[in-house]
Chains A and B, each alone.
Chain A
Amino acid sequence: MGKAVGIHLEIRGLQKRFGERLVIENIDLQVREGEFVAIVGRSGCGKSTLLRLIAGLETPTEGKITQDNIWVQGINPAVRVMFQEPRLLPWQKVSDNVALGMDGKTEDIEERTSQILQQVGLEDYKDEWPAVLSGGQRQRVALARALVSRPRLLLLDEPLGALDALTRIEMQQLIEKLLQKQGTTALLVTHDVEEAVALADRVILLEEGEITLDLPIPLPRPRQRNSTKFVSLAGRILDRIMQTSANESSRQVL
């Protein structure tokens, strides 16, 4: 059982238009193998579109996305996505949901499924229907489903946005632990600056389809949320977001 190695992601001159509307203006971005990058920004800044472009769910208008120097077009099988909603199939048991899209021998799949369910703490629920689970449990199943095939790139599209504060912190710790173990490259889209600083090696601010801040987070893991460094980093990013929007509104007044 070798450690899965994350992908090296490179984005060049990426642009996306929906009709007249320019959603992604011009993005260049490099993500190293096994790096965890968080993308923050106000709603409508294009961060979800960026993720969908990387997943191959949208086609870029301009530019290239390469993974390990290979130009990928269409849906990339090495990528797994965790959505804002769990998107579990309600007609499949928890274990079948986790095993969705896995190839290989049945025993092998079963073993890996129960192993990952154990890691997310849901081994007792493997024969349940998703309907009986709580919101947090469903999102844990979705995390297990995303990680069971040891993807080389994991895209997280505000996966914790709908959870309550306590469950969210629990999930953040779980994601951090499992991703470090697997060595997967990960991109997390979030509007929660604290979440970004807690999880990511690097935080990127996206504004009107462009990267306006690229900040490394050199804090040791596991991170102390009340440490001075943590608070000041989070504050800096938040100030930056608020400041630009303040400038914008004053510009509009003038």
Chain B
Amino acid sequence: MTSGFRPGRTVKFMIPWSVPVGLVILWQLLAHFGWISSRILPEPAGVIQSAIRLTESGDLLRYISDSTSRALVGLVIGGSIGLVLGFFNGFFPVAEKLLDTTIQMLRNIPHLALIPVAILWFGIGEESKLFLVALGVFFPLYLNTFHGIRSVDPGLIEMGKVYGLRGWTLFWKVILPGAMPSILVGLRYSLGIMWLTLIVAETISSDTGIGYMAMNAREFMQMDVVVLSILLYALLGKLADVLAKGLESWCLRWRVNR
């Protein structure tokens, strides 16, 4: 008989967070007793202090909102192009024949390799960052939407047609929900790429945003602010993932007992 360890609700919530929290405590102790130099890693309390300072001045909120809006606008632009093109190529074999080879070739270019091109085309303003984010999120969404459409059970489509579903109704009731699991996988990939691209783009050239905050702080040797921006990226990435997971469990709530 295995009595087993049955954690309660609070404990269940705490388990995944125990490692990061433990690491922060260890880090605080090491820094506090001077085992690691503050020039290598400032103590967490210092990071928190700088966070408070930057919040009070309003800079932190502005940087976060600038970065977030860049990320989201890029996601919407690139994501919707990927979604539409994925649907289009998924439905029309002619379109797939015409476009897929091109898309596969472009996909194999690391989109970050286009940073110099983006800067020459768009300068260091908003456009170049949006371009890079949009380009980065496009491919996972395109590929997974395309795959999702193609993998919808043909038996269900046939059934829909026999039961009088045509055009848009068939799309809304059968094809889109059938492709949804795959599309959501694409979205989660895209969210990861979205932050990655934004961090790189903001670090290279920017005049606002979290990446700018980090690079600016580096010039003034403000290690605590650099660490703060890295932590912010981690938290924002986690937040995006939680939202995507929430969306997934809502959209796919019909997948009971699986």
Partner of B174, one of A55, A77, A89, A132: A89
Once A90-B255, A91-B254, A132-B257 are accepted as A-B contacts, the answer to whether A75 and B173 lie under 8 Å apart by CB is no
How far apart sit A132 and B162, CA to CA, in the bound complex (Å)? 25
A123 at the interface (CB under 8 A from B): no
Complex contact B164–A89 (CB within 8 A): no
Q: Pick out which of these stretches binds chain A: B107-115, B153-161, B240-248.
A: B153-161
Complex contact B161–A75 (CB within 8 A): yes
Complex contact A89–B155 (CB within 8 A): no
How far apart sit A131 and B255, CA to CA, in the bound complex (Å)? 7
**Chain B residues closer than 8 Å to A75, beta-carbon distance:** 161-162
The 9 closest A-B CB pairs, nearest first, are A101-B163, A101-B164, A87-B159, A91-B177, A91-B254, A129-B254, A81-B162, A131-B256, A100-B163
Per-residue contact bits, chain A 81-95, to B (CB 8 Å; 1 contact, 0 not): 101010101111000
A145 at the interface (CB under 8 A from B): yes
How far apart sit A89 and B178, CA to CA, in the bound complex (Å)? 9
Complex contact A145–B256 (CB within 8 A): no
**Chain A residues closer than 8 Å to B163, beta-carbon distance:** 80, 100-101, 145
**Chain A residues closer than 8 Å to B174, beta-carbon distance:** 89
B72 at the interface (CB under 8 A from A): no
Partner of A131, one of B158, B165, B173, B254: B254
**Chain B residues closer than 8 Å to A85, beta-carbon distance:** 155
Within 8 A of B (CB), among A59-110: 75, 77, 79-81, 83, 85, 87, 89-92, 100-101
How far apart sit A131 and B253, CA to CA, in the bound complex (Å)? 11
A57 at the interface (CB under 8 A from B): yes
How far apart sit A85 and B254, CA to CA, in the bound complex (Å)? 19
Partner of B155, one of A87, A100, A131: A87
B93 to chain A, nearest CB (A): 20
Name B residues whose Cβ lies closer than 8 Å to a Cβ of A. Answer: 155-156, 158-165, 173-174, 177-178, 180, 254-258
22 residue pairs from A and B, CB less than 8 Å apart: A57-B158, A77-B164, A80-B163, A81-B162, A89-B173, A89-B174, A90-B254, A90-B255, A92-B173, A92-B254, A100-B163, A100-B165, A101-B160, A101-B163, A129-B254, A130-B254, A131-B254, A131-B255, A131-B256, A131-B257, A132-B257, A145-B163
How far apart sit A57 and B257, CA to CA, in the bound complex (Å)? 34
Which residue of chain B has the shortest Cβ distance to A55 in the bound complex? Answer: B162
How far apart sit A129 and B178, CA to CA, in the bound complex (Å)? 15
Complex contact B173–A57 (CB within 8 A): no
**Chain A residues closer than 8 Å to B162, beta-carbon distance:** 55, 57, 75, 79-81
A56 to chain B, nearest CB (A): 8
Complex contact B257–A89 (CB within 8 A): no
Complex contact A89–B256 (CB within 8 A): no
**Chain A residues closer than 8 Å to B178, beta-carbon distance:** 91
Interface centre among B160, B178, B254, B258 (most CB of A within 10 A): B254
Q: A131-B258, A145-B163 are in contact. List 11 more A-B contacts (CB 8 A).
A: A57-B161, A80-B162, A80-B163, A87-B155, A87-B159, A89-B174, A91-B177, A92-B254, A100-B165, A129-B254, A132-B257
Interface centre among A80, A91, A131, A132 (most CB of B within 10 A): A91
**Chain B residues closer than 8 Å to A131, beta-carbon distance:** 254-258
Within 8 A of B (CB), among A116-156: 129-132, 145
**Chain B residues closer than 8 Å to A55, beta-carbon distance:** 162
How far apart sit A57 and B163, CA to CA, in the bound complex (Å)? 12
Complex contact A129–B256 (CB within 8 A): yes
**Chain A residues closer than 8 Å to B160, beta-carbon distance:** 100-101
Per-residue contact bits, chain A 171-191, to B (CB 8 Å; 1 contact, 0 not): 000000000000000000000
Which residue of chain A has the shortest Cβ distance to B155 in the bound complex? Answer: A87
**Chain B residues closer than 8 Å to A91, beta-carbon distance:** 177-178, 180, 254
